[in-house]
Amino acid sequence: MRQTEQIYQSILHHLSLLPTDKLSDIDEYLRLLRLRNMTPEEKKANAEASSTFAGMWNDIEDEELALRLQEGKRATHEMFNKKVDFEL
């Protein structure tokens, strides 16, 4: 367990050193890595869960959607622009 914790801390440390405009690239890479390692059963369950939400944005007004997207960007920026103190 200790080794896993050290790996997580190392990853978080490296992420904290990246400029925020690179975080979407890292996020996409991790998503693809996770998808590539899914079992066929997990892939099927993921596809079914995704299809449940496919049309949910159609019911939201454009202004509301824009506000939600803006809030998501603000929260992400705030989350990844904090000074992180790593004690390894």
pLDDT digits (tens, 9 = 90+) for 30-49: 888 888 888 888 878 877 77
Which pLDDT value is given to residue 63?
85
Q: What is the residue extent of each domain of the chain?
A: 20-80
**pLDDT single digits (tens) 56-67:** 666 778 888 788
**CA pair distance 11, 33, nearest whole angstrom:** 15
Whether 83 shows a pLDDT value over 70: the answer reads no
Amino acid identity at 87: E
Q: What is the pLDDT of residue 51?
A: 63
Residues 6+ apart with CB under 8 A from 76: 23
**Structure tokens, 82:** 């904090």
Hey, what's the torsion of the CAs at 5, 8, 10, 15, to 10 degrees?
-160
